[in-house]
Amino acid sequence: MNDDLETKLQSMRRSELPAAWKAEILGSLNLPSTLPKSTRKSLSPTLAPPRWLAWSMAGAWTLVLILNLLTPATSPAPSSSIAAEVSTRALQLRREMLQSLLATNFSHTP
Amino acid sequence: MLSHAALEHLYDAYASGVVHYFMSFVKCEADAKDLLQELFLKLHARGLPESVESEKAYVWHLAHNLAIDWRRRKGAHDRAVESSAEEPRSLFADQANPDAAEFARRLEQALAELPTEQRSIAQLKLWDGLTFDEIAAVQGIPLNTAASRYRYAIDKLRTLLRPLYEEIKP
Protein backbone atom coordinates (compact mmCIF):
# COMPACT_ATOMS: atom_id res chain seq x y z
CA MET A 1 0.00 0.00 0.00
CA ASN A 2 2.74 2.40 1.02
CA ASP A 3 4.84 1.80 -2.09
CA ASP A 4 1.73 1.92 -4.25
CA LEU A 5 0.72 5.23 -2.77
CA GLU A 6 4.17 6.72 -3.20
CA THR A 7 4.24 5.57 -6.82
CA LYS A 8 0.79 6.99 -7.37
CA LEU A 9 1.81 10.31 -5.81
CA GLN A 10 4.98 10.49 -7.86
CA SER A 11 2.98 9.96 -11.03
CA MET A 12 0.88 13.06 -10.33
CA ARG A 13 1.85 15.76 -12.79
CA ARG A 14 2.27 19.15 -11.21
CA SER A 15 0.88 22.31 -12.74
CA GLU A 16 3.12 24.30 -15.05
CA LEU A 17 4.16 27.86 -14.37
CA PRO A 18 2.55 30.55 -16.51
CA ALA A 19 4.67 30.90 -19.65
CA ALA A 20 4.94 34.68 -19.25
CA TRP A 21 6.83 34.29 -15.98
CA LYS A 22 9.98 33.06 -17.69
CA ALA A 23 10.34 36.10 -19.95
CA GLU A 24 9.36 38.41 -17.11
CA ILE A 25 11.80 37.02 -14.56
CA LEU A 26 14.74 36.43 -16.88
CA GLY A 27 14.05 39.76 -18.60
CA SER A 28 14.23 41.62 -15.31
CA LEU A 29 17.79 40.34 -14.82
CA ASN A 30 19.00 42.45 -17.75
CA LEU A 31 18.21 45.66 -15.92
CA PRO A 32 21.27 47.79 -15.22
CA SER A 33 20.62 47.43 -11.54
CA THR A 34 20.32 43.96 -10.04
CA LEU A 35 18.69 45.22 -6.90
CA PRO A 36 15.81 43.13 -5.56
CA LYS A 37 12.39 44.04 -6.86
CA SER A 38 11.31 45.54 -3.55
CA THR A 39 14.31 47.91 -3.57
CA ARG A 40 13.75 48.92 -7.18
CA LYS A 41 10.15 49.76 -6.36
CA SER A 42 11.23 52.10 -3.59
CA LEU A 43 13.36 54.18 -5.98
CA SER A 44 10.32 55.89 -7.40
CA PRO A 45 11.14 58.74 -9.83
CA THR A 46 8.75 61.02 -7.94
CA LEU A 47 10.97 60.80 -4.86
CA ALA A 48 14.19 61.59 -6.68
CA PRO A 49 15.00 65.33 -6.77
CA PRO A 50 14.68 66.76 -10.29
CA ARG A 51 17.97 67.60 -11.99
CA TRP A 52 17.02 71.24 -12.69
CA LEU A 53 16.51 71.82 -8.97
CA ALA A 54 19.99 70.52 -8.16
CA TRP A 55 21.57 72.75 -10.82
CA SER A 56 19.69 75.88 -9.73
CA MET A 57 20.67 75.28 -6.07
CA ALA A 58 24.30 74.86 -7.10
CA GLY A 59 24.13 78.12 -9.09
CA ALA A 60 22.59 80.01 -6.18
CA TRP A 61 25.30 78.84 -3.79
CA THR A 62 28.03 79.80 -6.29
CA LEU A 63 26.51 83.31 -6.57
CA VAL A 64 26.43 83.65 -2.78
CA LEU A 65 30.09 82.62 -2.61
CA ILE A 66 31.16 85.10 -5.32
CA LEU A 67 29.25 87.98 -3.69
CA ASN A 68 30.81 87.12 -0.36
CA LEU A 69 34.31 87.25 -1.85
CA LEU A 70 33.69 90.50 -3.72
CA THR A 71 32.16 92.45 -0.83
CA PRO A 72 34.85 94.44 1.15
CA ALA A 73 35.04 93.50 4.74
CA THR A 74 33.77 96.18 7.17
CA SER A 75 35.46 94.89 10.21
CA PRO A 76 34.40 96.46 13.53
CA ALA A 77 37.00 98.15 15.75
CA PRO A 78 39.05 95.71 17.70
CA SER A 79 37.78 95.20 21.18
CA SER A 80 41.24 95.84 22.69
CA SER A 81 41.35 99.48 21.38
CA ILE A 82 37.85 100.16 22.77
CA ALA A 83 38.93 98.87 26.15
CA ALA A 84 42.04 101.08 26.08
CA GLU A 85 39.93 104.15 25.19
CA VAL A 86 37.53 103.49 28.08
CA SER A 87 40.30 103.03 30.62
CA THR A 88 42.04 106.26 29.45
CA ARG A 89 38.84 108.20 29.91
CA ALA A 90 38.31 106.66 33.36
CA LEU A 91 41.84 107.61 34.40
CA GLN A 92 41.29 111.13 33.19
CA LEU A 93 38.05 111.40 35.16
CA ARG A 94 39.73 110.07 38.26
CA ARG A 95 42.58 112.56 37.92
CA GLU A 96 40.15 115.45 37.54
CA MET A 97 38.23 114.34 40.63
CA LEU A 98 41.44 114.04 42.62
CA GLN A 99 42.58 117.48 41.59
CA SER A 100 39.27 119.02 42.53
CA LEU A 101 39.38 117.27 45.90
CA LEU A 102 42.91 118.49 46.56
CA ALA A 103 41.95 121.99 45.54
CA THR A 104 39.00 121.90 47.91
CA ASN A 105 41.15 120.63 50.82
CA PHE A 106 43.82 123.29 50.32
CA SER A 107 41.28 126.04 50.13
CA HIS A 108 39.76 125.01 53.52
CA THR A 109 43.11 124.74 55.27
CA PRO A 110 43.52 127.60 57.78
CA MET B 1 27.72 36.36 -13.17
CA LEU B 2 25.82 33.71 -15.09
CA SER B 3 25.07 34.05 -18.78
CA HIS B 4 21.51 34.37 -19.99
CA ALA B 5 21.70 30.87 -21.46
CA ALA B 6 22.85 29.42 -18.13
CA LEU B 7 20.05 31.19 -16.29
CA GLU B 8 17.55 29.93 -18.83
CA HIS B 9 18.80 26.41 -18.25
CA LEU B 10 18.39 26.85 -14.48
CA TYR B 11 14.90 28.26 -14.97
CA ASP B 12 13.82 25.33 -17.14
CA ALA B 13 15.33 22.83 -14.74
CA TYR B 14 14.18 24.22 -11.39
CA ALA B 15 11.67 27.08 -11.58
CA SER B 16 8.54 24.95 -11.57
CA GLY B 17 9.67 22.75 -8.68
CA VAL B 18 10.99 25.70 -6.74
CA VAL B 19 7.70 27.59 -7.05
CA HIS B 20 5.82 24.56 -5.73
CA TYR B 21 8.32 24.40 -2.90
CA PHE B 22 7.82 28.10 -2.14
CA MET B 23 4.07 27.53 -2.20
CA SER B 24 4.42 25.08 0.67
CA PHE B 25 5.75 28.01 2.73
CA VAL B 26 3.96 31.08 1.42
CA LYS B 27 0.60 29.77 0.12
CA CYS B 28 0.25 32.80 -2.13
CA GLU B 29 1.25 32.76 -5.79
CA ALA B 30 2.38 36.41 -5.86
CA ASP B 31 4.78 35.82 -2.96
CA ALA B 32 6.07 32.62 -4.57
CA LYS B 33 6.73 34.54 -7.76
CA ASP B 34 8.55 37.29 -5.88
CA LEU B 35 10.71 34.67 -4.19
CA LEU B 36 11.44 33.02 -7.54
CA GLN B 37 12.54 36.38 -8.91
CA GLU B 38 14.71 36.95 -5.85
CA LEU B 39 16.27 33.52 -6.36
CA PHE B 40 17.19 34.31 -9.94
CA LEU B 41 18.56 37.72 -8.97
CA LYS B 42 20.85 35.95 -6.52
CA LEU B 43 21.87 33.34 -9.07
CA HIS B 44 22.51 36.08 -11.62
CA ALA B 45 24.62 38.11 -9.21
CA ARG B 46 26.53 35.28 -7.53
CA GLY B 47 26.71 32.70 -10.25
CA LEU B 48 27.51 29.13 -9.28
CA PRO B 49 30.56 29.15 -6.98
CA GLU B 50 33.36 26.85 -8.10
CA SER B 51 33.27 25.09 -4.74
CA VAL B 52 29.71 23.94 -5.42
CA GLU B 53 29.64 20.23 -6.19
CA SER B 54 26.01 19.93 -7.11
CA GLU B 55 24.13 22.61 -9.04
CA LYS B 56 20.86 21.07 -7.92
CA ALA B 57 21.77 21.14 -4.23
CA TYR B 58 23.02 24.74 -4.51
CA VAL B 59 19.84 26.02 -6.19
CA TRP B 60 17.59 24.24 -3.74
CA HIS B 61 19.65 25.43 -0.79
CA LEU B 62 19.33 29.05 -1.95
CA ALA B 63 15.60 28.54 -2.49
CA HIS B 64 15.16 27.04 0.98
CA ASN B 65 17.02 29.94 2.61
CA LEU B 66 14.83 32.45 0.78
CA ALA B 67 11.71 30.66 1.97
CA ILE B 68 12.96 30.61 5.56
CA ASP B 69 13.89 34.30 5.38
CA TRP B 70 10.44 35.04 4.03
CA ARG B 71 8.85 33.24 6.98
CA ARG B 72 10.99 35.23 9.39
CA ARG B 73 10.07 38.50 7.74
CA LYS B 74 6.36 37.74 7.80
CA GLY B 75 4.62 37.34 11.10
CA ALA B 76 2.23 34.54 11.82
CA HIS B 77 -0.62 37.03 11.67
CA ASP B 78 0.34 38.20 8.19
CA ARG B 79 0.56 34.62 6.98
CA ALA B 80 -2.90 33.84 8.29
CA VAL B 81 -4.39 36.91 6.64
CA GLU B 82 -2.71 36.20 3.32
CA SER B 83 -3.59 32.56 3.23
CA SER B 84 -7.23 33.33 3.83
CA ALA B 85 -7.28 36.30 1.45
CA GLU B 86 -6.10 34.52 -1.66
CA GLU B 87 -7.02 31.22 -3.22
CA PRO B 88 -3.93 28.99 -3.17
CA ARG B 89 -2.35 28.10 -6.49
CA SER B 90 -3.34 24.72 -7.86
CA LEU B 91 -0.49 22.28 -7.30
CA PHE B 92 -1.40 19.72 -9.92
CA ALA B 93 -2.10 19.86 -13.62
CA ASP B 94 -5.70 19.65 -14.77
CA GLN B 95 -6.88 16.05 -15.02
CA ALA B 96 -9.19 14.88 -17.77
CA ASN B 97 -10.27 11.82 -15.78
CA PRO B 98 -12.80 12.78 -13.05
CA ASP B 99 -11.35 10.22 -10.62
CA ALA B 100 -7.86 11.58 -11.15
CA ALA B 101 -9.15 15.13 -10.79
CA GLU B 102 -10.84 14.24 -7.51
CA PHE B 103 -7.70 12.50 -6.28
CA ALA B 104 -5.62 15.59 -7.16
CA ARG B 105 -8.05 17.82 -5.30
CA ARG B 106 -8.02 15.61 -2.21
CA LEU B 107 -4.24 15.27 -2.35
CA GLU B 108 -3.92 19.03 -2.37
CA GLN B 109 -6.18 19.25 0.68
CA ALA B 110 -4.20 16.51 2.42
CA LEU B 111 -0.89 18.24 1.68
CA ALA B 112 -2.31 21.46 3.11
CA GLU B 113 -2.96 19.66 6.39
CA LEU B 114 0.68 18.65 6.79
CA PRO B 115 3.07 20.79 8.83
CA THR B 116 5.34 22.87 6.59
CA GLU B 117 8.45 20.83 7.49
CA GLN B 118 6.79 17.60 6.41
CA ARG B 119 5.07 19.03 3.35
CA SER B 120 8.24 20.61 2.01
CA ILE B 121 10.20 17.38 2.41
CA ALA B 122 7.46 15.33 0.80
CA GLN B 123 7.52 17.68 -2.18
CA LEU B 124 11.29 17.52 -2.56
CA LYS B 125 11.29 13.73 -2.33
CA LEU B 126 8.21 12.87 -4.36
CA TRP B 127 8.22 15.43 -7.14
CA ASP B 128 11.65 17.00 -7.28
CA GLY B 129 13.61 13.77 -7.04
CA LEU B 130 15.94 14.76 -4.21
CA THR B 131 17.50 12.05 -2.07
CA PHE B 132 17.36 12.21 1.72
CA ASP B 133 21.04 13.20 1.71
CA GLU B 134 20.26 16.12 -0.60
CA ILE B 135 17.17 17.14 1.38
CA ALA B 136 19.18 17.10 4.61
CA ALA B 137 21.84 19.33 3.00
CA VAL B 138 19.27 21.70 1.48
CA GLN B 139 17.37 22.18 4.73
CA GLY B 140 20.36 21.94 7.04
CA ILE B 141 18.88 19.11 9.10
CA PRO B 142 20.18 15.63 10.06
CA LEU B 143 19.56 12.83 7.57
CA ASN B 144 17.42 10.90 10.05
CA THR B 145 15.22 13.92 10.63
CA ALA B 146 14.64 14.31 6.91
CA ALA B 147 13.76 10.62 6.58
CA SER B 148 11.44 10.57 9.58
CA ARG B 149 9.62 13.73 8.53
CA TYR B 150 9.04 12.19 5.12
CA ARG B 151 7.74 9.02 6.73
CA TYR B 152 5.34 11.01 8.93
CA ALA B 153 4.15 12.91 5.86
CA ILE B 154 3.48 9.74 3.87
CA ASP B 155 1.71 8.09 6.80
CA LYS B 156 -0.58 11.09 7.18
CA LEU B 157 -1.25 11.27 3.44
CA ARG B 158 -2.03 7.56 3.44
CA THR B 159 -4.52 8.02 6.28
CA LEU B 160 -6.18 10.97 4.63
CA LEU B 161 -6.28 9.51 1.13
CA ARG B 162 -6.85 5.83 1.83
CA PRO B 163 -10.62 5.71 1.31
CA LEU B 164 -10.46 7.46 -2.03
CA TYR B 165 -7.30 5.71 -3.10
CA GLU B 166 -8.73 2.27 -2.37
CA GLU B 167 -11.84 3.21 -4.28
CA ILE B 168 -10.15 4.39 -7.46
CA LYS B 169 -7.22 1.95 -7.41
CA PRO B 170 -7.33 -0.12 -10.64
d(CA A77, CA A79) in angstroms, rounded, equals: 6
Cβ within 8 Å of residue A53, ≥6 positions away: none
d(CA B111, CA B118) in angstroms, rounded, equals: 9
Give the model confidence (pLDDT) of A86-106 as tens digits.
888 899 999 999 888 888 766
Structure confidence at residue B81 as a pLDDT band (50, 70, 90): low
- Give yes or no for a contact between B134 and B54, defined as CB atoms under 8 angstroms apart: yes
Pairwise CB contact (< 8 Å): B15 & A6: no
- Report the percentage of chain B scoring pLDDT > 90: 48
CB contacts of B107 in chain A (<8 Å) are: 9, 12
Give the model confidence (pLDDT) of B29-69 as tens digits.
888 999 999 999 999 888 887 777 788 889 999 999 999 99
Specify the higher pLDDT residue, A55 or B163.
Answer: A55
| Predicted local distance difference test score (pLDDT) of residue A74 | 67
List residues of B whose CB lies inside 8 A of any A CB. 4, 7-8, 11, 15-17, 19-20, 33-34, 36-38, 40-41, 44-45, 89-94, 103-104, 107, 126-127, 154, 157-158, 161-162, 165, 169
d(CA B71, CA B26) in angstroms, rounded, equals: 8
| Predicted local distance difference test score (pLDDT) of residue B63 | 94
ipTM of the complex: 0.78
| Predicted local distance difference test score (pLDDT) of residue A41 | 47
Query: Rounded to two decimals, what is the model's pTM?
Result: 0.64
Which range in A3-7, B68-72, B132-136 is most confidently predicted, on average pLDDT?
B132-136
Question: How high does pLDDT run on average in chain B?
Answer: 85
- pLDDT for residue B122 is more than 90: yes
Q: Which of A25, A50, A94, A87 is nearest to B14 (CA)?
A: A25
Give the model confidence (pLDDT) of B129-166 as tens digits.
999 999 999 999 999 999 999 999 999 999 988 877 76
DSSP state letters, chain B: ---HHHHHHHHHHHHHHHHHHHHHHH--HHHHHHHHHHHHHHHHHH---TT-S-HHHHHHHHHHHHHHHHHHHS-HHHHHHHHHHSPPPP-B---SSHHHHHHHHHHHHHHHHS-HHHHHHHHHHHTS---HHHHHHHHT--HHHHHHHHHHHHHHHHHHHHHHHHHH--
Q: Of A3, A25, A31, which to mutate for an interface test with B (greatest number of B Cβ within 10 Å)?
A: A25
Average pLDDT score over residue span A12-41: 73
Structure confidence at residue A4 as a pLDDT band (50, 70, 90): confident
| Predicted local distance difference test score (pLDDT) of residue B79 | 55
Pairwise CB contact (< 8 Å): A16 & B4: no
| Predicted local distance difference test score (pLDDT) of residue B167 | 66
Specify the higher pLDDT residue, B27 or A45.
Answer: B27
Pairwise CB contact (< 8 Å): B44 & A34: yes
Pairwise CB contact (< 8 Å): A15 & B4: no
Structure confidence at residue A44 as a pLDDT band (50, 70, 90): very low
Structure confidence at residue B86 as a pLDDT band (50, 70, 90): low
Specify the higher pLDDT residue, A9 or B89.
Answer: A9
The CA–CA distances, whole Å, from A26 to A57, A81, B43, B150 equal: 41, 78, 11, 33
**With b meaning 16 or more CB within 10 Å and e meaning fewer, what string describes A93-105?**
eeeeeeeeeeeee
Average pLDDT score over residue span A65-80: 76
